[in-house]
A and B are shown apart, each in its own frame.
Chain A
Amino acid sequence: MAVINVTPLMDITALIASDDVNEGDVLLLEDGIYSQTVNINKNNIRIAAKGSGVIFDGKGSLLTAFMLSDVVGAAIEGIKIRHYRDDSIIIQGGSGNRIVNNKFNNMLSDAIVLIGSSGNLIWKNEICYCSDGIKLSSGSTNNWVIENTVKDGFVDAFETSTSVDSNNAFISNIAIRHRSSGFRISGSNNLLLNNISINNTLGIWIAEGSNSIAVGNKVKASKSSALLVSDEYRNYFTGENNIECNDTIGMFILGDFGMYLNNELSYNGDSGITLDASTIGNLVMDNKLVCNIPQNIFDTGNNNLINNIDKPCRPCESPSDACDNCTE
């Protein structure tokens, strides 16, 4: 195994493809501006920045910064990526890869895209001014998306785009100021744990599938609903989420047989929890609802509501009073 020093003048794709680089080798990148697309076609290649000034700049002409196709155990760590025309990191048919501590800004498409990929780690990346932040598609499963920050994007911050993108975990991420959703989650048994969604058009949108879970998330200042569970979605679970100061509905439930437990919903501008007339078999229990207008809970379906604390606004109080002081 070797640690190979790399400069901006080197063709990294060719280097990796050569006999000079073997599985397990580390490419240690010197500070500087790299204008290239890197194709990684060997397993267990680790690309790490030596300092904080390693910049991959597509200059508005290159498509992708890093392409990982059918590889296992590759790592990309500590790199700044900007101005690529397409997605900046694409993992296609990959598994066990590690995308850690990178910074992305100003991509014309998405920052990190997984296509038919499983078991990858996306950890501690910062993404700004891209289309989607982190997008999983075409049967991407069992990926770990942890402690990333995505802000000011043009579509969704975090997305699983089809019903076969299942069993992924989104943990302790932050999504701020996106034109569409903070978290748009299709597929089954995806986990949202301890994430923050602030000032997105829609906070969390659960679409297509069954059995997904949201625990301990915070959703604030959404322009539309904070949490939307789509029609026909079955067995959605939410627990201990904090949903406060959103412009419209706190939780808008169109799905069936879900569980909504110990959530706190306050100061939302178009009811705290709405269960649509089509819903059946949802259990709404032990939630605390405070000063959501016009009402805290609105259920026209066939559901069970147990032991919820339902506090109306105090005289002369409105959500605006509490939310105008919200800080981001």
Chain B
Amino acid sequence: MKGSVLMAVINVTPFTDITALIASDNVNEGDVLLLEEGIYFQTVNISKNNIRIAAKGPGVIFDGKSILLVAFTLSDVVGVAIDGVNIRHYRVDGIFIEYGSGNRIINNIINNVQNNGIFLLRSSGNLIWKNEICRCSNGVFLTLGSTSNWVIGNIAKECDDNGFETEIVLDSNNAFISNVSMRNVSDGYELFGSNNLLFNNLSMDNAFGIIFDQGRDSLAIGNVSKSIKFGTHFITNGYINHFAGENSIECNRRKGIEILGQLGMFINNQISNNTDIGMELTDTSEGNLIINNKLVCNIPENIVNNGTDNNLVNNIEEPCEPCETPNDVCDNCPDKADNLAF
């Protein structure tokens, strides 16, 4: 056996000072803190590597009562896990990872925190999986050089700002996979930085959908955008070598894809029933390849190309049928009834 210390599973109650417990000699790397159900009013600072905090049942609630700032802070740690915890009413963030790597934030439910649900600052290689975030400012927020993080299977809805965000150009090589972003006040996904991947995500009923800003080489594959109010899939001027493939962009109130960037590739996307042009290449766009896309009944036009030297190859363009409008199709969108419930 490599270690002389036996790994332990330590039962924790709402009366335990978890920060002090972790800092003590009673907790070692690899130990599991198993949280009993109940309401915890505390901020937990995790200062050791490989500490695993797991809820024993669904009723583990961290409630900041709008007094405490952050539920969990992970500073400069590796391999910490937080699993199955409900977090609510903190004044700043739900979970804050600073200079951390290889941490696992899983299956938590975060609502009504005043800033970010999950906040990564200069952190790399963390897994953010299957969390549900509601009514925060941003859902999952990466900044100041957060790279190579895996953000998978999360839901962010009804946030005051963005569902998912990489904030600056240094936030690169992150993957957002199979997430849902709904009814957020600003963007579904706002991505600064290079080589970020958006794969199989849903963006629905956000003010803006997917925004690529500052950087290069990022990719969007297999995403669905519906019922977006302003820019649905927007590539900013100066963004080079964006790749978009097999995205479904349907029933959005403005343009489907708006390309201001250069040297991108747009392949096999389905763009239909959007009510202000299916795909627009603006006058700043240059050298983009638009190939094998299908555009159906976008009004007033399916494709508008005002750019320079863009290449359009083998796209299928179907106008609306006589007397057809996007409304005919989109009024039957299933989220409409859902919206009425709120």
Q: How far apart sit A234 and B2, CA to CA, in the bound complex (Å)?
A: 13
**How distant is the Cα of A239 from the Cα of B245 in the complex, in angstroms?**
28
State whether A302 touches B1 (Cβ < 8 A).
yes
CB–CB A119/B177 < 8 A: no
Task: Report the bound CA distance from A278 to B172 in whole Å.
Answer: 37
Please report the total number of A residues contacting B with Cβ < 8 Å.
Answer: 59
Main secondary structure of the interface of B (DSSP, over half): strand
Interface digits, B139-166 against A, CB 8 Å rule (1 contact, 0 not)? Answer: 0000000011010100000000000000
The interface size of chain B toward A, counting residues with CB under 8 Å, comes to: 60
Chain A residues with Cβ below 8 Å from B173 are 119, 141-142, 167
Bound together, the chains give a CA A186 to CA B23 distance in angstroms of 33
Contact of B7 among A48, A210, A304 (CB under 8 A): A304
A2 to B52, CA, bound (A): 56
- A142/B311 contact (C-beta < 8 A), A44-B241, A121-B243 known: no
Q: Are the C-beta atoms of A235 and B79 separated by less than 8 Å?
A: yes
Cα distance A304–B51 in the bound complex, in angstroms: 12
Q: Considering the complex, give the chain B residue whose CB is closest to the CB of A26.
A: B311
Contact residues, A1-37 vs B (CB, 8 A): 1-3, 23-26, 28
* B313 CB within 8 Å of chain A: yes
Q: Using an 8 Å CB-CB cutoff, how does the interface string of B75-93 with A read, 1 for contact, 0 for none?
A: 0001101010000000000
- CB of B180 within 8 A of chain A? no
Cβ contact within 8 Å between A235 and B50: yes
Residues of chain B within 8 A (CB-CB) of A239 are 106, 129
Most buried by B among A171, A281, A285: A281
Q: Which residues of A, 77-122, contact B by the 8 Å Cβ criterion?
A: 77, 95-96, 98, 100, 118-119, 121
How many residue-residue contacts, CB under 8 A, span A and B? 161
Complex contact B104–A259 (CB within 8 A): yes
Find residues 40-54 in chain B having any chain A CB closer than 8 Å to their own CB.
50, 52, 54
B101 lies within 8 A of A211 (CB): yes
Contacts A72-B241, A142-B148 given; indicate if A119 touches B265 (C-beta within 8 A).
Answer: no
Whether, in the assembled complex, A312 has its beta carbon less than 8 Å from a beta carbon of chain B, the answer is no
**Residue of A with least CB distance to B262:** A24
- Decide: B7 and A213 in contact? CB cutoff 8 A: no
Cβ-based interface call for B320 (8 A):
no
Q: A193-B177, A235-B79 are in contact. Are A1 and B7 (CB under 8 A)?
A: no
Residue B318 at the chain A interface, CB threshold 8 Å: no
Question: A123 interface residue, CB < 8 Å from B?
Answer: yes
Contact with A along B1-29 (1 / 0, CB 8 A): 11100111100000000000000000001
Q: Which of B54, B125, B172, B240 contacts A285 (CB 8 A)?
A: B54
Q: Is the CB of B263 within 8 A of A24?
A: yes
Nearest neighbor of B1 in chain A, beta-carbon distance = A302
A46 contacts chain B at the CB level, 8 A cutoff: yes
A183 in the interface (beta carbon within 8 A): no
Q: Is B34 part of the binding interface, using a Cβ–Cβ cutoff of 8 Å? A: yes
**In whole Å, how far is B95's beta carbon from the nearest beta carbon of chain A?**
17
The contact of A280 among B7, B129, B195, B313, by CB within 8 Å, is: B7
Contact (Cβ within 8 A) B106 A303: no
On whether A77 and B267 interact (CB within 8 A), knowing A121-B219, A169-B197, A278-B1, the answer reads yes
Query: Nearest chain A CB to B14's CB is how many angstroms away?
Result: 20
- Write the nearest CB–CB distance from B147 to chain A, whole angstroms: 8
Taken together as a complex, chains A and B put the C-alpha atoms of A221 and B126 apart, in Å, by 31
Residues of A within 8 A of B (CB): 1-3, 23-26, 28, 44, 46, 48, 72-73, 75, 77, 95-96, 98, 100, 118-119, 121, 123, 141-142, 144, 146, 166-167, 169, 171, 188-189, 191, 193, 210-211, 213, 215, 234-235, 237, 239, 256-257, 259, 261, 277-278, 280-283, 285, 301-304, 306
> 14 more A-B contacts (CB under 8 A) besides A144-B175, A166-B148?
A24-B311, A46-B265, A100-B267, A189-B101, A193-B150, A211-B125, A259-B104, A281-B30, A282-B30, A301-B1, A302-B6, A302-B7, A303-B7, A304-B32
